[in-house]
């Protein structure tokens, strides 16, 4: 069967939808995909070089039991991440349960009673608000630990470094920057913007700690925030840097003094990085890193197809096609609850796993609104695999990200459009192509 036949007979894609998506795709191939492939290539070589530099060998995938002392593979994995990010050191562990966990570890390791942290890229990601104690009243949040918190909103989608500098007090120890869109509606901060803000702040406060939440950002550009002055960057292995292969985990990469503190927070003072069993995950972690540049480029192309198709239908999308990308997220504003649910259903139906189930909004731990999440992933909850989620609040924005392979994203786009044909206004536009 030809592609068209499979799509039509097995997935129920109409010729109208197929032609519409193909037309948008042609424009993307002509105008945008080359640049993504160049970035992919640079990152792929960077990763291979780091593995060779540290003489990764097959015995590094063996694993120990108990405390996990002298785990050469674990140590090499951390050195390899540090090399890729050009940092002094890194902590890369399957026992870091999520991105939020990695961020909490980092914040609570750096900040002590009475210290202040300032978010200089506006309101942080939902789960971080719970961590900070800005929302909810969870035991062990940072407010309870005596940490003061402030935030500086973005100005014109850029870091307002002038206000950030003014906001610093004697108590300010750390500035935090979120690279990705998160659950806001703004393009991810480009590395150029982050670089400029860090440089301006460093002119006045050379020693202030700067942490970047790098979730969803890894390998979208040729450099990382750690290349342009961030002291520490933090992310999840079931997002970009795990390449869809890592089974779990998070990383923290940065200055050695910071990583030492984070390691002591993760395990215990005195043992730090020296212990922590990997349960045999080192091979997955590193093979995931090896895959990551390629997978991220596929996800970015997929995000662009979603963005291109939905902007052509008249929906507001961020980032816009011509904007420089700095994460894998494509946000689409629907202003319509039913449409958000339909998109999530379509993404679910496009999945290799759990395609037959329907996502429903639920009270996800750590989030203050109900969230609907579509993810038919091999690694549960992985959002480097094609996934869509939306907090159930106006203006009903769907966040689409991931896709290990562009073809899979394209199927998701086509199934989304089929469902969107139920809405008269969308049907008219597609049919009048």
Ligand X SMILES: *Cc1c(COP(=O)(O)O)cnc(C)c1O
Among 100, 106, 130, 416, binds ligand X (CB under 6 A): 100
Among 99, 276, 376, 402, binds ligand X (CB under 6 A): 99
Helix (H, G, I), strand (E, B) or coil at 116: strand
The nearest distance, CB 270 to ligand X, in angstroms, is 28
Site size with ligand X, rule: CB under 6 A: 12
The nearest distance, CB 374 to ligand X, in angstroms, is 15
Query: Footprint of ligand X on residues 318-357 (CB under 6 A)?
Result: none
Alpha-carbon separation of residue 132 from 148, 150, 177, 419, 429 (angstroms): 9, 10, 14, 39, 45
98 lies in the binding site for ligand X (CB under 6 A): yes
Among 116, 213, 221, 231, binds ligand X (CB under 6 A): 213
Among 9-17, 97-105, 168-176, 304-312, which window interacts with ligand X (CB under 6 A)?
A: 97-105
Among 94-102, 130-138, 349-357, 421-429, which window interacts with ligand X (CB under 6 A)?
A: 94-102
Return the number of the residue (39 or 384) whose C-beta is nearest ligand X. 384
Name which of 301, 283, 276, 261 is nearest 38 in CA terms: 301
Name which of 418, 426, 367, 358 is nearest 391 in CA terms: 367
Strands 148-151 and 116-119: parallel
Return the number of the residue (237 or 339) whose C-beta is nearest ligand X. 237
Q: How many residues does the chain have?
A: 433
The nearest distance, CB 183 to ligand X, in angstroms, is 8
What count of other Cβ atoms lies within 10 Å of the Cβ of residue 55? 8
The nearest distance, CB 102 to ligand X, in angstroms, is 8
Return the number of the residue (125 or 291) whose C-beta is nearest ligand X. 125
Return the number of the residue (47 or 373) whose C-beta is nearest ligand X. 373
Return the number of the residue (17 or 215) whose C-beta is nearest ligand X. 215
| x-marked contacts with ligand X along 114-143 as a string, rule CB under 6 A | -----------x-x----------------
Query: Footprint of ligand X on residues 152-181 (CB under 6 A)?
Result: 178, 180
Strands 89-93 and 250-254: antiparallel
Task: Report whether 343 contacts 332 (CB < 8 A).
Answer: yes
**Number of alpha carbons in the 13 Å side-chain half-sphere of residue 178:** 26
DSSP secondary structure of 321-387: TTSPP-SS-EEEE-S-HHHHHHHHHHHHHT-SSSTTS----B--TT-SS-EEEEE--SSTT-SSSSE
What count of other Cβ atoms lies within 10 Å of the Cβ of residue 241? 33
The residue with its CB nearest to ligand X is 99
Query: Footprint of ligand X on residues 49-88 (CB under 6 A)?
Result: none
End-to-end CA distance of the chain: 26
Q: How buried is residue 134: exposed, middle or buried, by Cβ count under 10 Å (0-12/13-18/19+)?
A: middle
The nearest distance, CB 367 to ligand X, in angstroms, is 10
The Cα–Cα gap between 132 and 90 comes to 23
Among 28-36, 211-219, 223-231, 403-411, which window interacts with ligand X (CB under 6 A)?
A: 211-219
Return the number of the residue (131 or 420) whose C-beta is nearest ligand X. 131
Among 50, 131, 174, 215, binds ligand X (CB under 6 A): 215
Query: Footprint of ligand X on residues 177-196 (CB under 6 A)?
Result: 178, 180, 182
The nearest distance, CB 218 to ligand X, in angstroms, is 11
Question: Which secondary-structure segment (H or E) carries 256?
Answer: helix 256-266
Among 236, 267, 281, 285, binds ligand X (CB under 6 A): 236
Exposure string of 114-128, with b = 16+ CB inside 10 Å and e = fewer, is ebbbbbbbbbbbbbb
Among 98-106, 202-210, 282-290, 353-361, which window interacts with ligand X (CB under 6 A)?
A: 98-106
The nearest distance, CB 52 to ligand X, in angstroms, is 30
Return the number of the residue (116 or 389) whose C-beta is nearest ligand X. 389
Among 81, 216, 310, 406, binds ligand X (CB under 6 A): 216
Return the number of the residue (102 or 350) whose C-beta is nearest ligand X. 102
The nearest distance, CB 338 to ligand X, in angstroms, is 25
The Cα–Cα gap between 267 and 26 comes to 51
Helix 33-53, helix 15-31: angle, nearest 10: 70
Helix, strand, coil percentages (3-state) for the chain, rounded to 5, are 45, 15, 40
Positions touching ligand X (CB under 6 A) are 98-100, 125, 127, 178, 180, 182, 213, 215-216, 236
């Amino acid at each position: 069967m030809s592609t068209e036949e499979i799509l039509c007979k097995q997935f129920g894609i109409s010729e109208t939808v197929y032609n519409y998506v193909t037309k948008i795709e042609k424009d993307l191939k002509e105008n945008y995909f080359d640049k993504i492939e160049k970035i992919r290539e640079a990152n792929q070589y960077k990763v291979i070089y780091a593995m060779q530099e540290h003489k990764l060998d097959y015995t590094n995938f063996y694993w120990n039991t108990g405390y996990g002392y002298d785990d050469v593979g674990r140590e090499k994995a951390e050195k390899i991440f540090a090399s890729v990010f050009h940092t002094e050191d890194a902590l890369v562990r399957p026992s870091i349960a999520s991105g939020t966990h990695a961020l909490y570890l980092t914040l609570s390791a750096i900040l002590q009673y009475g210290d202040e942290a300032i978010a200089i890229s506006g309101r942080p990601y939902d789960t971080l608000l719970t961590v900070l104690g800005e929302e909810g009243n969870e035991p062990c949040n940072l407010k309870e630990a005596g940490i003061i918190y402030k935030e500086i909103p973005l100005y014109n989608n850029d870091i307002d470094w002038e206000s950030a500098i003014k906001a610093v007090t004697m108590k300010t120890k750390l500035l935090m920057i979120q690279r990705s869109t998160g659950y806001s509606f703004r393009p991810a901060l480009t590395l150029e913007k982050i670089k400029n803000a860090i440089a301006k702040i460093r002119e006045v406060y050379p020693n202030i700690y700067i942490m970047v939440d790098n979730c969803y950002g890894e390998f979208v550009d040729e450099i990382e925030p750690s290349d342009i002055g961030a002291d520490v960057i933090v992310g999840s292995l079931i997002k970009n840097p795990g390449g869809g292969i890592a089974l779990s985990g998070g990383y923290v990469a940065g200055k050695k003094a910071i990583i030492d503190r984070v390691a002591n927070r993760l395990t215990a003072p005195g043992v730090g990085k020296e212990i922590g069993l990997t349960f045999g995950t080192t091979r997955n972690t590193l093979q995931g890193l090896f895959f990551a540049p390629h997978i991220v480029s596929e996800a970015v192309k997929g995000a662009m197809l979603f963005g291109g198709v939905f902007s052509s239908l008249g929906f507001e999308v961020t980032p816009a096609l011509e904007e420089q990308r700095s994460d894998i997220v494509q946000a689409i504003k629907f202003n319509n609850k039913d449409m958000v649910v339909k998109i999530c259903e379509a993404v679910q139906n496009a999945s290799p796993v759990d395609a037959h189930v329907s996502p429903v909004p639920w009270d996800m731990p750590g989030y203050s609104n109900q969230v609907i999440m579509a993810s038919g992933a091999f690694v549960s909850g992985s959002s480097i695999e094609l996934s869509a989620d939306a907090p159930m609040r106006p203006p009903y924005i769907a966040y689409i990200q991931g896709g290990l392979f562009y073809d899979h994203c394209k199927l998701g786009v086509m199934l989304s459009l089929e469902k969107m044909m139920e809405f008269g206004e969308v049907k008219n536009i597609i049919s009048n192509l």
